[in-house]
Amino acid sequence: MDYDHVLELDRTDPLAASRAAFDLPEGVIYLDGNSLGALPRHVPGRVAEVIGQQWGRDLIQSWNRHDWISMPARVGDRIARLIGAESGEVVAADSTSVNLMKLLSAALALRPERRTILSDNGNFPNDLYIAQGVAGLLDKEHRLRITDPDQVAEAIDEDVAVIMLTEVDYRSGRRHDMSDLTARAHAAGALVIWDLCHSAGAMDVDLNGSNADMAVGCGYKYLNGGPGAPAFMFVARRLQPVLKPALSGWMGHDQPFAFDLDYRPAAGILRNLAGTPPILGLTALDAALDSFDGVDMTRVRAKSLALGDLFVALARERLACYGLEIITPEAHDVRGSQISLRHPEAYAIIQALIGEGVIGDFRMPDIARFGLVPLYNSFADIWHAIERLEGVMAAGTYRQPRFRERLAVT
């Protein structure tokens, strides 16, 4: 494995041109797009236009004139194509947390005789917190059951109302089999909510092909919508009429501007909206989605896997001797779009590596995590990242006390 081979991979990469759609800082190798996606070049101009012209000049009239009011649906439709959903099955709104609360509380009401929410300990903890909150709100008989990721299938029993899983594990990068678990859940009479935070935009998610019920996901990771971007939610068309919103705000009302005193849910996916849409955040996310225009998501997935394969091969060759253990599964069908390494000093190693211009991140307790973003990461990025990481390990740079000082957000 030499650098010429890596450069050849970049030369023949059908997605190589997409990198130009992003404004990446000079001299930085950014492998943290699974935490905050890089800035798409279309964003600053579009946001400036919406602020200066639409808000500044047209003011309140922009809700009609620039159709602000339908942004959640319009942006949702653009995301739908990336995740195997149809137009009218996705809206962009709120945060992943809030959307999950909405779907989970509504889904539990569809299985009133059942009391178990099933999840796994590889789920993003936030999702478990949301489930604990929803269970606490209800009748005190609901419970959250948490298994190991590989034991979810066998834990599905007749008491499970809803299974709540994140497709790709935020730490290890392990990927669940959406189609298989959905089928097993349905066979047992349960519903499934998929969290696509670490999938959407990084691979060819196929919600309808997997017969999925509901999903949530994040706008600021592989969709590049900016810090704290609006999230999205998917409800399969067949479930939309029966899923009754518990977070029933006016934007989900059948006639928001009739100002009736009684809530009456809108038809379709729109009933899941709550408050006034965040137009600035939606504008950034909308502009960011331009970088997916014309992009075939199977190519995105193929490049993601190829980047990961290169990372694994180089890590095995050059890093294994330093005790950096690859914890991401190598088989393609069970891997997401990141490679994670385990080391007792992972925190300091990541800080030292950032000092060398390679940005990855740390996850408790001992994980160094590297996101692979097919639209802007090159194969050369991987080569240089491994080379600099090798340098940090060989020189023991990470042992310096300054790299052990904990930051507020890690």
Q: What residues between 245 and 264 interact with its own copies by CB under 8 A?
A: 245-251, 253, 257-263
> Is residue 410 a contact point for its own copies (CB under 8 A)?
yes
Place of tokens 């909405």: 102
Residue 253 DSSP code? B
- What's the number of CA atoms in the CB half-sphere (13 Å) around residue 67? 6
Closest CA to 340 of 167, 224, 174, 124: 174
Distances (CA, A) of 390 to 307, 378, 381, 395: 18, 19, 14, 8
What stretch of H or E contains 89?
Answer: none
Interacting span for its own copies (CB under 8 A) from 9-17, 273-281, 326-334, 380-388: 273-281
Residue 226 has φ and ψ, to the nearest 5°, of 100, 160
The CA distance from 250 to 260, in Å, is 10
Reply yes or no on whether 195 is catalytic. Answer: yes
The least CB distance from residue 11 to its own copies, in Å, is 27
Instruction: Annotate 69-83 with DSSP letters as a single string.
Output: GGHHHHHHHHHHHHT
What stretch of H or E contains 368?
Answer: strand 367-371
The least CB distance from residue 270 to its own copies, in Å, is 13
Reply yes or no on whether 369 is catalytic. Answer: yes
Query: Looking at beta carbons only, is 138 or 394 nearer to its own copies?
Result: 138
Query: Looking at beta carbons only, is 6 or 243 nearer to its own copies?
Result: 243
Q: b/e per residue, 296-311, with b = 16+ CB within 10 A?
A: ebeebbbbbbbbbebb
Interacting span for its own copies (CB under 8 A) from 34-42, 201-209, 302-310, 384-392: 34-42
**Cα torsion 55, 57, 59, 63: sign:** negative
The CA distance from 182 to 186, in Å, is 6
Contacts (CB under 8 A) with its own copies, residues 148-207: none
Closest CA to 342 of 198, 170, 171: 171
The least CB distance from residue 226 to its own copies, in Å, is 6
Contacts (CB under 8 A) with its own copies, residues 84-143: 94-98, 101, 105, 121, 124-126, 128-130, 132-134, 136-139
Contacts (CB under 8 A) with its own copies, residues 336-375: 354, 359, 361, 363-364
The least CB distance from residue 371 to its own copies, in Å, is 10
Reply yes or no on whether 259 is catalytic. Answer: no
Reply yes or no on whether 41 is catalytic. Answer: no
Query: Looking at beta carbons only, is 297 or 358 nearer to its own copies?
Result: 358
The least CB distance from residue 328 to its own copies, in Å, is 18
Q: Contacting its own copies (CB under 8 A), which of 14, 56, 323, 396?
A: 56
The least CB distance from residue 69 to its own copies, in Å, is 5
Q: Contacting its own copies (CB under 8 A), which of 6, 19, 68, 243?
A: 68
The one catalytic residue among 22, 30, 220, 398: 220
